[in-house]
């Protein structure tokens, strides 16, 4: 009851009114982000960083109640499924990286899975991709993995029951929370489609049919009831019981492919961690079907081999030019080799090897400018709606989680009577190999649609270790920009010796092979932009290139410091005690 009282009072005291501006890519920025400190949370006993302060407070209260980082992580994730449904929830998927205090590392693959009736050409009409089918509606939905991943994490290393860690989130759903500007801006962009779906309309609109508004108390009784049933019956309810039946019926009635058998056959998979070394640090990440772990390590290897950041405390023309080319090389490998390793061999060892990195660096160094662009690829720059959170406890257990429903509110369909929005993760397959998806990314046969297969992802939950102790726990949101946003944050802390808040505030740049353009944030210095243009890049200004939630060890404070990206909610999501 004590936990309930804490959450209840916090719910009604929370009123976040951000002075941030929404740009066309769904990120929230404020002027002068470069060089500004985002809010930092310093704590001796535990730190939680997420996109929403209410969810982070849930995690902190679990730590205060004696739970460990895994308990707090699952409680935080379940709370985000209430206050941040545009990004995540039980109807989505997750990657989880856990490093326990004894040094054991677990990586859990809770990625969505293609239904048994899925096939390679299911989104092809008259020889062309019908992208709307893979982005919106029942055909866009993969079998959800979040519930299985969360329960597996608790089983592996948690100390509390599902009933205990889900209680705060259930209370928020039942009693309501106050909507802030960030939530409502995202909601308004999806409201038209949500209104058309009966299951969504009963959740995301007022009784009189009007849209949700900022400062409104938003209650979700259907989701609270679903959480109660999940708490009581666990995976049996979700994958083999009432919820699975409701999903099967919804799909049958609306032309979807997922069956009750597909739900029952879902399994979370414990994968081998991606393990790299960067200078004096060890880097642990997620392996396929995530591309994040491989390519974060691969780009770090190239940076180390080139020495481009040695003895530097900030970006300069040469380092931006070369690191952008390293990104280009990594994303080329992503397009050619990455997919679900259970279906297609992925040359992981080669891609993350130091020798291969040196080969790529030699290729880059041999060309002084950017080669002529291939203009046939679109400059598509799709919305990226995922979220991540990071936790460390007083014992040194660390957890990094990325979870997602892919696009805003996923497929923008909700299972009637449950309050659970379903993902649009099928769009992360290569619907037609060589043809760009929502994010402008291309893929090969390795990522073609197939029954039971998991789509390629850019989610990059990452834990960095030095001398046997975690020094960074982080991940990001923003489609393919996740990989480079995580990279920028790591470099800001490890190479530029910045606090985690300052590292998050640095202007970012991003290259993903196709389209052949260098995306830069608007607050990057003009002389750097001009220099990149002069050296052959097609430079494209963007208001935000991914968002990151991170925790880092602080020598100054002799403890951990958490921060949330200032590009979202002005960076108010980290909590500590």
- Of all residues in the chain, what percent carry a pLDDT higher than 70? 90
**Residue 413: HSE in the Cβ half-sphere, 13 Å Cα cutoff:** 22
**Residue 73: HSE in the Cβ half-sphere, 13 Å Cα cutoff:** 35
Q: Judge whether 104 counts as a catalytic residue.
A: no
Query: Which pLDDT value is given to residue 5?
Result: 41
Alpha helix segments (H runs only) across 338-386: 348-351, 354-365
Q: List pLDDT tens digits, range 200-234.
A: 999 999 999 999 999 999 999 999 999 999 999 99
Q: How far apart are the first and last CA of the chain?
A: 21
Within the chain, all domains assigned CATH 3.60.20.40 are found at 271-382+460-576
> 402 with 460: CB under 8 angstroms?
yes
Provide the b/e sequence for 264-301 (b: ≥16 CB within 10 Å).
Answer: eebebbebebbbbebeebbbbbbbbbbbbbbbbbbbbb
Instruction: Name, in order, each residue with C-beta under 8 angstroms of 493's C-beta and a sequence gap of 6 or more.
Output: 471, 472, 499, 500, 503, 552
Q: List pLDDT tens digits, range 124-136.
A: 998 888 989 999 9
**pTM of the model as a whole:** 0.93
> At 383, is the pLDDT very low, low, confident or very high (cuts 50, 70, 90)?
low
More confident residue, 4 or 463: 463
SS3 content of the chain, % helix, strand, coil (to 5): 40, 20, 40
Neighbour count for residue 37 (Cβ, 10 Å)? 15
> 450 with 257: CB under 8 angstroms?
no
Q: List pLDDT tens digits, range 475-526.
A: 999 999 999 999 999 999 999 999 999 999 999 999 999 888 999 999 999 9
> What's the CA gap between 492 and 507, in Å, rounded?
11
For 221, the token pair is 């009784």
Neighbour count for residue 442 (Cβ, 10 Å)? 23
Bridge partners of residue 424, in order along the sequence: none
Query: In terms of C-beta density within 10 A (0-12 exposed, 13-18 middle, 19 or more buried), how is residue 399 classed?
Result: buried
Helix (H) or strand (E) holding 556: none
Among residues 29, 38, 170, 386, the one annotated as catalytic is 386
For 460, the token pair is 């990059």
Q: List pLDDT tens digits, range 240-292.
A: 999 999 999 999 999 999 999 999 999 999 999 999 999 999 999 999 999 99
- Considering only CA atoms, which of 237, 212, 78, 84 is closest in space to residue 158? 78
Q: Which CATH class is domain 271-382+460-576?
A: alpha beta
> What's the CA gap between 173 and 206, in Å, rounded?
15
Alpha helix segments (H runs only) across 84-136: 131-135
Q: List pLDDT tens digits, range 26-62.
A: 222 322 343 455 789 999 999 999 999 999 999 999 9
């Amino acid at each position: 009851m004590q936990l309930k009282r804490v959450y209840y009072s916090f719910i009604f005291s929370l009123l976040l009114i951000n002075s941030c501006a929404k740009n066309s890519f769904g990120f929230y920025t404020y002027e002068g982000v470069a060089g500004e400190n985002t809010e930092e949370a310093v704590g001796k006993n535990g730190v939680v960083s997420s996109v929403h302060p209410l969810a982070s407070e849930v995690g902190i209260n679990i730590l205060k109640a004696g739970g460990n980082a895994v308990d707090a992580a699952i409680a935080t994730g379940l709370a985000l499924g209430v206050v941040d449904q545009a990004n995540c929830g039980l109807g989505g998927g997750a990657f989880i990286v856990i490093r326990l205090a004894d040094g054991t590392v677990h990586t859990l693959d809770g990625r969505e899975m293609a239904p048994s009736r899925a096939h390679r050409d299911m989104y092809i009409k008259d020889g062309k991709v019908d992208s709307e089918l893979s982005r919106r509606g029942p055909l866009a939905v993969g079998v959800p993995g979040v519930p299985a991943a969360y329960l597996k994490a608790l089983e592996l290393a948690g100390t509390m029951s599902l009933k205990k860690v889900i209680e705060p989130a259930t209370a928020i759903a039942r009693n309501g929370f106050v909507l802030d500007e960030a939530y409502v801006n995202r909601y308004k962009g999806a409201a038209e489609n949500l209104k058309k779906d009966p299951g969504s309309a009963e959740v995301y609109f007022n009784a009189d049919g009007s849209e949700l508004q900022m400062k409104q108390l938003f209650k979700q009784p259907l989701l609270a009831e679903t959480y109660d049933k999940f708490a009581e019956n666990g995976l049996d309810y979700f994958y083999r019981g009432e919820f699975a039946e409701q999903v099967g019926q919804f799909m049958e009635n609306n032309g979807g492919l997922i069956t009750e058998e597909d739900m029952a056959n879902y399994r979370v998979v414990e994968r081998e961690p991606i393990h790299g070394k960067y200078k004096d640090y060890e880097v642990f990440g997620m392996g396929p079907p995530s591309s994040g772990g491989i390519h974060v390590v691969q780009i770090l290897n190239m940076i180390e081999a080139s020495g481009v950041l040695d003895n530097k405390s900030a970006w300069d023309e040469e380092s931006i030019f070369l690191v952008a080319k390293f990104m280009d090389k990594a994303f080329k490998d992503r397009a050619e080799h990455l997919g679900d390793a259970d279906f297609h061999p992925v040359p992981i060892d080669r891609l993350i090897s130091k020798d291969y990195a040196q080969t790529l660096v030699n290729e880059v160094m041999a060309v002084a400018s950017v080669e002529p662009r291939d203009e046939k690829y679109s400059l598509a720059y799709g919305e990226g709606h995922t979220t991540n959170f990071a936790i460390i406890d007083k014992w040194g257990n660390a957890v990094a989680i990325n979870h997602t429903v892919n696009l805003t509110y996923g497929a923008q369909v909700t299972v009637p009577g449950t309050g659970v929005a379903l993902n649009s993760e099928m769009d992360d397959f290569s619907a037609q190999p060589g043809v760009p998806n929502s994010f402008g990314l291309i893929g090969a046969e390795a990522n073609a649609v197939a029954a039971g297969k998991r789509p390629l992802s850019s989610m990059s939950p990452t834990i960095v270790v030095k001398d046997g102790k975690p020094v960074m726990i982080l991940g990001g949101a923003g489609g393919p920009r996740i990989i480079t946003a995580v990279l920028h944050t790591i470099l800001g802390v490890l190479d530029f010796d910045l606090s985690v808040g300052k590292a998050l505030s640095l202007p970012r740049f991003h290259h993903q092979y196709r389209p052949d353009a260098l995306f830069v944030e608007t607050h990057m210095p003009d002389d750097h932009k001009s220099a990149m243009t002069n050296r052959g890049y097609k430079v494209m200004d963007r208001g935000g290139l991914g968002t990151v939630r991170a925790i880092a060890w602080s020598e100054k404070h002799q403890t951990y410091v958490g921060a949330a990206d200032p590009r979202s909610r002005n960076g108010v999501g980290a909590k500590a005690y």
